[in-house]
Chains A and B, each alone.
Chain A
């Protein structure tokens, strides 16, 4: 082909490309071999990993990038089993190989800035990645300013273990080092927070460990709340399995901590009491993960208001926020809820990209808790969306495990708790 012909050929291709673009801008990408759209997912936990996978399942022509600092994600669910000593960290660690095998671009880095005008995210090294649609699933951050005497770096000695990985190991090591007859304080925060039954499963499984190895020890729960998730079921289990070992102090009875003396391991409560302990598991009040604040996507409470049908931010277009960071109506902040929202969000994005109406959303949550390795309890809910209610519970469904269940029932729920973990981690990371 002469250079003139080649030039003419390219001009003709270029103009036919413009013709294609005028038919459907996003389809034009696909026709020329480019993706139908570029989606970036920030955060590779239960929300982000699930969203990325389901985006790919719905539309394999999407270019999907999943940005997550950890090469192996260490879950919070079942981290209490590690604290208790009957599982190890490896058993709750998950790689992103399956995502890579699907053709999802996995980037192990942190997003430090979002430029939604130019539709780019900036990574810690300065690299910029472009998107058509952005999903944030950044989890939680902590409101350290709400308690005197403590700052983020103090979590190295007073672990929250409310983010998985090194914090879990740290708390486990403290429990192992503690003398028999020691006191452990577990301090759950006020609502809303990640995983409402989580602190109480933690108490249960620490008690299980103590019963076997350090039976003279005690657990003191200093709670910023007046009641908690599955309370009567937990307390029934504690009375049965760990009588005399656990004391729960409600907010109004002096449970709310307002100051921590980090050096001396002493906590002070709002009602003026103080407690010294061998191990303090202080779980601070929470807010959305840092990037959500940096990007201007949070309200005055520190969480992200979203369209609860599509999870698109109410504050900025083309950015969707799922999981703990989002305000999702009646759904709790849980890994299960994040996985559910990830799928609904993926459906919303793919539908929008292809100019289709998304199907009516359906959401679900089940929180399994182990009172001991073979005593399980659960709370379940099915949700729908309406414009006036947002995400609401379907009447006549859901609820907690029965109060009058026998040993076999509790054992079966414990088995299903483990089965749930295997299924959801395969669904999210596999």
Chain B
């Protein structure tokens, strides 16, 4: 291959890479919210110990659970005090996040 063509190819593929990389990393609101659950429920919701794992639970289950913890319909030791800190919209984002883990 000629030098000119090599460089042209490099530039072309680099331009493709620029657009891939600069748009690749955007941290969602769902991720930000869900990350605050990891200290107790484990990274990605995969709990290694006594606290229930929440990865892969259905979004509707998580939403209903957090709603019931907040209202007290479902008794809890600490979850009522946590769930009440999030809005309905935030709960939906959190639930969808963990349902995919």
Q: Which A residues lie at the B interface, using CB under 8 A?
A: 5, 8-9, 12-13, 16, 19-20, 23-24, 27, 30-31, 36, 54, 58-59, 61, 336, 339-340, 343-344, 347, 350-351, 353-356, 358-364, 366, 378, 380-382, 394, 396-399, 401, 409, 412-413, 415-416, 418-424, 426-427, 430
Contacts and interface: CB of A to CB of B under 8 A. Distances in A.
A423 B42 contact: yes
B73 interface: no
B35 interface: yes
23 contacts: A24-B22, A30-B17, A58-B25, A344-B32, A354-B22, A354-B24, A356-B27, A359-B27, A378-B77, A382-B36, A382-B82, A382-B84, A394-B85, A397-B81, A401-B77, A418-B49, A419-B49, A420-B40, A420-B49, A422-B50, A423-B39, A423-B42, A427-B39
A399 B42 CA distance: 22
A19 B8 CA distance: 12
A347 B27 contact: yes
Interface in B23-45: 24-29, 31-33, 35-43
A356 B4 CA distance: 35
User: Interface centre among A16, A54, A364, A423, by most B CB within 10 Å?
Assistant: A423
B75 to A, nearest CB: 9
Q: Which 3 A-B pairs have the closest CB atoms?
A: A382-B85, A419-B50, A422-B49
A350 B25 contact: yes
A407 to B, nearest CB: 13
A109 B40 CA distance: 30
B58 interface: no
Nearest to B87: A394
A31 B49 contact: no
Contacts of A421: 49
A16 B39 contact: no
Contacts of A361: 32
Given A356-B25, A364-B39, A399-B81, A13 B7 contact: yes
Nearest to B26: A356
A336 B49 contact: no
A416 B26 CA distance: 33
Nearest to A421: B49
Contact of B48 (A24, A401, A426): A426
A344 B22 CA distance: 20
